[in-house]
Amino acid sequence: MRKMLARLKTRWVGILVVAVLAIGSGLVVGAKLAPTSIHPPQLTTSSSTSTGAAQPGSGGEPNKLSWKQLPAASGAFLPTKIVVEKLGVQAPVEIKSVDSKNVMQTPDHPFDVAWYQFTAKPGSGSNAVFAGHKDYWGVGPAVFWHLADLRAGDAIDIVSGQSTEVRYKVTQSRSYNLTSIPMASILAPSKGDQITLITCAGAFHNGGYDSRLVVQATRS
């Protein structure tokens, strides 16, 4: 058991080291930390979206969404959907990890959200980390285009494959420059049931954004 825990600790530290070093290295910074556009964004929407995802508006108000809360999950689960009613988001969740270079993988589709399986499962009593694109080349505004509009107390629902959920309420929203983002604490386990959402922020130049928006929410 001690050997297994040591291996898990070593893997966790490795992930954090790559994430933190990527900030200062300037090597594909967007891909190493959170989703980013490969080219300057086109602020128009596209008719093609991921199945089951709500497409954000083209820079204006979020689409309206009426969500009927599901029964509460009784334990930890693999997330299949994220719902942010205020933002008009009802998006599928992709399960992601790190690639062969320990770089955090990004969602495959503009209107999907990634959950990182090296972080906690929702409902487990620790920190479940998610990421989504702010915008997407050839599409425009993506799933987390309006993420900065969230305020303390806003609800975020994480749904299981058994049609149960955990509801979280936003506690903090903060933008970090890539030169100073504290990835170790953002990805680290928490003492309570928490989710962390990450997307791009700041100015777009040199093929990516220079900041990341981090929204944290705790179980309500």
CB 215 within 8 A of CB 128: no
pLDDT 10s digits, 93-133: 999 998 888 888 999 999 999 999 999 999 999 999 999 99
Mean pLDDT within 167-174: 98
pTM > 0.85? no
Q: What per-residue string of b and e applies to 136-172 under the rule 16 or more CB within 10 Å gives b?
A: beebbbbbbbbbeebeeebbbbbbbeeebbbbbebee
State the Cα–Cα distance between residues 159 and 79, nearest whole angstrom.
6
Query: From CA 175, how far away is CA 71, in angstroms rounded?
Result: 33
**Run of H or E including 4:** helix 2-25
Residues ≥6 apart with Cβ < 8 Å to 161 = 77, 78, 80
β-pairing verdict for 194-205 and 208-219:
antiparallel
Angle CA 79–20–199, to nearest 5: 45
Residues 47-67 as b/e (b if ≥16 CB within 10 A, e otherwise) read eebbeebbbbeeeeebeeeeb
Q: How far apart are CA 202 and CA 43, in angstroms?
A: 15
pLDDT score recorded for residue 166: 98
The pLDDT assigned to 31 comes to 35
- The answer to whether residues 191 and 200 touch, using CB atoms and an 8 Å cutoff, is no
Domains and CATH numbers, the chain: 2-219 (2.40.260.10)
DSSP-based three-state secondary structure for 69: coil
pLDDT for the residue numbered 65: 86
